Structure formats: C-alpha cells, structure tokens
C-alpha cells in the first residue's frame, strides 16, 4: 500500500483516478509515459499497455485516455512539490529523482546560453520509471568476482549487456553485497560515482536504494571527475560506475587502478568481442586488466546471465 500511494501522489488527480480504477500490482509496474495529446502508456509486467478512462488496459491506443497540457503541468507540480525552480539543476540534466528512488525523465523546449543548457520550458513529455531493487540478484556472480587467492580483494569486473537487460540492477546488488560482506568475507569500502542517479537514486542527497553499509556515493557527478574525487577523499577499496563510454572515463579508470582500487562497472555490448571493436575500450582490453566479464541477455527474463568469462575468454560458469 505504501508503494502504491508513493506512486499515485506523483500524478494529476485525473491520472490518479484512472490508475486506481486499473487495480494494478504496483510491484510489477515499471514505467508510465505521459505525452501531451497522446495516449497514456504503461510498461507493466514487461509489456506495453494503453489505458482508458475506466482504468482498462488496452493493446490498442485508439480508445486510450489522451494526456492534456494541464495534466502534465499538474503532475509536474506534484513531482516538484510546487517548487520547480528548486530543481533547475536536475532539469538541465533531463530528469528528477523523487522519494522512493523513482526517476522522472523530462522533455520539452531547451533554452541554451553559450551553447550550454540553461533551462527547460514548455515541458510536454514525462517518463516516470519506477525503482525496483532486486536484492539477491547478484548471488550467482559474487563468488566469481571475489579473488580466491587474496582474501580481501575482488577482480576488476565488467558487466556487459545491451540496453534494458538489467546490468544496472545487477551492479547495484553487487555493490550492496561487496559492501556488506558475509560471514566468510569482510565487507569492502565501496565508492560509487552515480552520474545518472540510477544506482543510488538519491533524493535530497540520501540514496533510496540500499548500496550497503560501507558505501559512499557521489550523486550526479561525471564519472571521470568523481572517481578521482573519491580516491582522494574516501579511500575506497572498490570503485563502481555505470555505463563506461568516453575516453575520459577510461583514462580515469586506469588512474584509479594505478591507485590500487578495484573497479566494477557496466558497458553496452553483447560480448567481449563487441567491446574490442570500440576504439575507446580496445586498448584497455588489450592490457587484460579486467579479469571478469559478466555478460547479460534478455532471453528468458531481464537479468539473465549468458555467461561469466575470465580475461582469456574462458567461460567460468
């Protein structure tokens, strides 16, 4: 009930009424998209549905309820607690994280100043993605990440998957488990650079997701800058980052490794060979610094592990 109310209060009165009529299982609700003049759209149990005024889920958008500009405006007022100006920085990045760790993607007219985004106005598109922690989803991979020869170390590890296959969810639970430790393994100090605010999903500076008892986090901070900041200020044993992609990211990763930190991160791809074809990552992979590659696929369900490999390409699981 608490999650239901947490979600419903984000929306305009009209949309709340429609969602209440739908009698949804809010644990299985993944995403709601609002677009001015377009049908209300839900991602529910991994399927896309339209919804009509009576709360009925539809496969066709013809009879679906269409959003108005006023409803978008009213929804934004609830999301921002009637203080949209307080979220100017978040708006420049295109999203707001709300209580519960839910993430509101925002699109509209961009105002530029000196080729930089100054503000956004005429907000007409919202994508509300609901937080789903899956504690225990990393149980299978944790034994492969720990260095069996060194009691308090892990291997440099990359999670590889196409978009939407659960690599961020898996990384989040890996961070939590490494941070907490077990009866056999002492927990590690983990520093997280959460550039897109998806790992910790901070609200008012407090992570809404459980990242463990020995974890420190920089929210909405560029990865390249954040890694070195954490090393200087928080002395982490492990640094975790999501979606490595730029030259600056890779350079900072190497610097962190030279400082003695172990790295865990995610990257888009479907195989190690995919990464070898990316100029940014090619040289780093040649050095065989990463010792574990965990590859995900969307075969049976989100988060399905296709295989776990070492730096020589040998499958371990």
* Domains, in order of start, for the chain: 2-129 (3.30.450), 142-310 (3.40.50.300)
pTM flag (> 0.95)? no
What is the per-residue pLDDT for 302? 65
pLDDT of residue 300: 61
d(C-alpha 202, C-alpha 211), whole Å: 11
Q: Report DSSP state, residue 315.
A: B
Rounded to whole angstroms, how far apart are CA atoms 284 and 289?
7
Residue in 94, 139, 100 with CA at minimum distance from that of residue 117? 94
Rounded-to-integer distance, Cα 223 and Cα 73, Å: 33
How is residue 66 annotated by DSSP? B
Q: Other CB atoms closer than 10 Å to residue 307's CB: what's the count? A: 15
The neighbouring-strand residues paired with 202 are 207
pLDDT in tens, the chain (317 residues): 588 999 999 999 999 999 999 989 999 999 999 999 999 999 999 899 999 999 999 999 999 999 999 999 999 999 998 888 778 888 888 999 998 899 999 999 988 888 888 888 899 999 999 988 899 999 999 999 998 888 789 999 999 998 878 899 999 999 999 999 988 889 999 999 999 889 999 988 899 999 999 999 999 899 999 999 999 999 999 999 999 988 899 999 999 998 999 999 999 998 888 888 888 888 888 888 899 999 998 766 667 899 999 999 899 98
Burial class of residue 195 (count of CB atoms within 10 Å of its CB; 0-12, 13-18, 19+): buried
**pLDDT score recorded for residue 282:** 84
């Amino acid at each position: 009930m608490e999650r239901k109310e947490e979600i419903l209060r984000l929306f305009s009165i009209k949309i709340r009424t429609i969602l209440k009529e739908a009698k949804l299982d809010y644990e299985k609700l993944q995403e709601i998209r609002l677009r001015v003049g377009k049908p209300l759209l839900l991602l529910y149990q991994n399927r896309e549905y339209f919804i009509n005024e009576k709360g009925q889920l539809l496969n066709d958008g013809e009879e679906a309820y269409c959003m108005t500009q006023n409803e978008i405006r009213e929804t934004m007022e609830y999301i921002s607690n009637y203080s949209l100006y307080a979220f100017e920085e978040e708006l420049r990045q295109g999203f707001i994280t709300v209580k519960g760790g839910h993430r509101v993607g925002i699109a509209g007219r961009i105002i530029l100043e000196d080729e930089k985004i100054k503000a956004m106005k005429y907000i007409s598109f919202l994508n509300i993605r609901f937080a789903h922690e899956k504690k225990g989803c990393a149980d299978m991979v944790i034994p492969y990440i720990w260095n069996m020869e060194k009691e308090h170390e892990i291997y440099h590890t990359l999670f590889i998957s196409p978009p939407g296959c659960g690599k961020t969810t898996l990384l989040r639970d890996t961070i939590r488990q490494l941070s907490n430790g077990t009866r056999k393994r002492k927990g590690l100090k983990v520093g997280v650079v959460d550039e897109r605010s998806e790992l910790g999903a901070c609200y008012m500076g407090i992570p809404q997701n459980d990242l463990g008892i020995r974890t420190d986090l920089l929210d909405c901070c560029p990865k390249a800058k954040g890694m070195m900041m954490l090393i200087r200020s928080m002395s982490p044993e492990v640094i975790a980052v999501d979606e490595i992609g730029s030259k600056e990211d890779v350079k900072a990763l190497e610097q962190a490794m030279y400082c003695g930190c172990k790295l865990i991160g995610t990257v888009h791809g479907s195989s190690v060979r995919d990464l070898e074809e990316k100029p940014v990552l090619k040289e780093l992979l040649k050095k065989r610094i990463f010792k574990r590659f965990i590859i995900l696929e969307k075969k049976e369900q989100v988060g399905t592990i296709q295989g776990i490999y070492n730096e020589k390409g040998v499958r371990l699981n």
